[in-house]
Amino acid sequence: MSLEDALAKVPGDLLGPKRVHVHITGRVQGVFFRDSCKQEADRHHVIGWVRNNPDGSVEALFQGDPSAIEQILAWCHTGPPRARVAEIHTNYLDVETSQESVDPDFGNIKKSSGFQIR
């Protein structure tokens, strides 16, 4: 059995936390996307942040168990009822080395901070 096959049989939560940076375009501002995203993140015990960008997009950083990350990413494809998501770009990051890798305002995620709306 290959390493990939063996890892596929391990429950995702045992592989350790995952971190993903997400950029979402479409009608995603003025539709309670950030607030709804925080509710979803809290429900799935995901930490990180979400913010509006000047270009009308929404950006988020999620960190948590792999299964929780996949669930919140699935939610991001539709968002709240009034949103119309056009595209989602995801970038999986190394949890240990990606503290400042996206931009200077990326921020250090602390578990005690939970999920924040910026």
What would the mean pLDDT of 70-81 be, rounded to a whole number? Answer: 97
Catalytic residue among 19, 27, 34, 108: 34
Active site residue 52: yes
pLDDT of 83 > 80? The answer is yes
Residue 19: which of 71, 65, 78 has the closest Cα?
A: 65
Catalytic residue among 27, 43, 51, 52: 52
Strands (E), the chain: 18-27, 47-52, 58-64, 84-93, 115-117
Q: Please report which confidence band the pLDDT of residue 87 belongs to, taking 50, 70 and 90 as the band edges.
A: very high
pTM of the model: 0.79
Active site residue 34: yes
> What is the per-residue pLDDT across 17-63, written as a single tens digit (0 to 9) for each?
899 999 999 999 999 999 999 999 999 999 999 999 999 999 999 99
Bigger pLDDT: 47 or 110? 47
